[in-house]
Amino acid sequence: MHNIRIKTQRLLLRPLTVADAEDVFEWVSDERVAKYMVYTTYTDMEDVREWLSFTGQDTSTYNFGFERIGDGKLIGSGDIGRDEDGECWGFGYNFRYDCWGMGYATEALKAMMEYARENFGARKFHASHCEPNLASGHVMEKCGLHFVGYGEFRKLDGSCKMRSMEYEG
């Protein structure tokens, strides 16, 4: 597990651990949050624990919990990591539904990108979102990426397939 901690104005980005399972379950079990994510809506806390223990061992991406500094509450999570080609960096994020629309995703993504630039020499970023998920595209644009074309989104279990919008920056 990495031990990176990044502070922004309102958030502490820090490694996720199995002890976060209950907090994480609050949003990954929410269909409104899971709808455009690659995972399917979680229904069992044990699956969240399993994911968290795997994520702690994954060395290809840096996973973060997003903790609100004001009250210490974990309100979302995300990751950033080098793509297989070794040049481009990808990222993702998701937040509790009651925390949407407050600029948290933009704040967290800017911090992860800046950290990757300064510490790992990241220069190129690539990301995508399901076509209807325009808020995510807006976050990417506010972080300096631009739309480059359409692609295909698939959930990990293949249960959903739709057009994606691809971004680079």
Ligand X SMILES: CC(C)(COP(=O)(O)OP(=O)(O)OC[C@H]1O[C@@H](n2cnc3c(N)ncnc32)[C@H](O)[C@@H]1OP(=O)(O)O)[C@@H](O)C(=O)NCCC(=O)NCCS
Residue 69 as a binder of ligand X (CB under 6 A): the answer is no
DSSP 161: E
Residue 63 as a binder of ligand X (CB under 6 A): the answer is no
- Residue nearest to ligand X according to CB distances in the complex: 105
Binding segment (CB under 6 A) for ligand X, from list 16-24, 42-50, 65-73, 100-108: 100-108
DSSP 90: E
Rg for the chain, CA atoms, rounded: 15
- The site map against ligand X for 79-98 (x = CB under 6 A) is --------------xxx---
Q: Which residues contact 157 (CB under 8 A, 6 or more apart)?
A: 40
Q: Is 72 helix (H, G, I), strand (E, B) or coil?
A: coil
Residue 139 as a binder of ligand X (CB under 6 A): the answer is yes
Provide the token pair at 25: 């379950």
Q: Which residues bind ligand X (CB under 6 A)?
A: 33, 36-37, 93-95, 100-106, 129, 133-136, 138-139
